[in-house]
Amino acid sequence: MKIIVTGAAGFIGFHTCLRLLDEGHNILGIDNINDYYDITLKSSRLLEAEKFAKSKNLDWKFIQASIEDDLTINKIFLDFNPQIVIHLAAQAGVRYSIKNPKKYIHSNITGFFNVIDICRALNVQHFVYASSSSVYGGNKKLPFMELDPVDHPVSLYAATKKSNEIIAHSYSHIYKIPTTGLRFFTVYGPWGRPDMAPMIFANSILNGEPIKVFNNGQMKRDFTYIDDIVEAIIRCAKKPALSCKNFDELHPNPSISNAPFRIFNLGNSQPIELMDFIEILEKELGTKAIKEYSPMQIGDVKETSADNQALKDWINYSPSTPLKLGINKFAKWFKSYYEF
């Protein structure tokens, strides 16, 4: 099967490409390799993907391109003519969006439109895209459910992700394109993003530098291991969204539709206290952290927790990697890659 993965040099995109290649699919990866974080890490991921594909004689091609460039994206898609598109490219980061809002509009709105619009033109079989748990914003009811309203984002990043879901629904409704949005919950693991807590903490701990513990440690996160994320992405990609025959227009469920549209939470469903996470990481790294307590940052939320029942009902799968095992794998990779 011919599949395009955008954001292929990113954390989730890289792992998704490896898994799809291992299954024997013809994969085209796209990424602009911007400098939001270490370009060397992105290049190393791409090198790993290339080595893996060559070792098994698999169909792998990568093109450096920006999704904001509609002419280039259109040509790439037309030439490759994918059956499935897994759209993971985006400007990530809640805190970064406070200082650099335009980048989020360009990438997460304009870029998203460019990709889904060429999918419409090519009549792709399924368009799967990354949303985020951030869309739940200021919601206090836990765990978060797809039935919950997401009308109060507390960051521009979250607002752009909600916008993606709305745009996807309009395309599913008008053009009958099957679209599936996955709300990721705090993804971690080997080859992770340097701007996220696990990588920031590991780097500081091993270098003997203080780590900033926001909201004085009074935070909980639904950390989800990368392999669980990829498994769900691929299972969803292979099962195109369907219109719901029992959709109640008088009491609409925002995660389904009479159009071929679906939204799913994708989290571990086992939120953990931030201080407990740090303690496990300390043990796996063999070094104690120097903690510097700070207040909550603008745009952040105190707690996240995913209800995965809808995803389980749809693809018969729920993330299951225990946190200690996931952190163990992450810590081993981190020390090896950064030579500690």
272-273 and 220-221 beta bridge pairing: antiparallel
H-run or E-run covering 102: helix 101-104
| Set 157, 171, 188, 225: catalytic member | 157
What is the rounded CA–CA span in Å between residue 183 and residue 198?
A: 19
> Which residues have CB under 8 Å from 123's CB, separation 6+?
177
The type of residue at 243 is: S
Widest pairwise Cα distance in the chain: 58
The reply to whether omega before 252 is within 30° of 0 (cis) is no
The residue whose two tokens read 């008088």 is 250
Q: At 107, list the tokens.
A: 């990438």
Q: At 175, list the tokens.
A: 């053009």
The residue whose two tokens read 């098994």 is 56
Q: At 244, list the tokens.
A: 């719901």
The residue whose two tokens read 């392999």 is 227
Which residue(s) pair with 180 in the sheet? 128, 262
Task: Give, in order, the Cα–Cα distances in Å from 73 to each of 121, 172, 202.
Answer: 12, 21, 37
Q: Is 136 a catalytic site residue?
A: no
Three-point CA angle 202, 212, 138, nearest 5°: 110
H-run or E-run covering 131: strand 126-132
Catalytic residues, by residue number, are 157
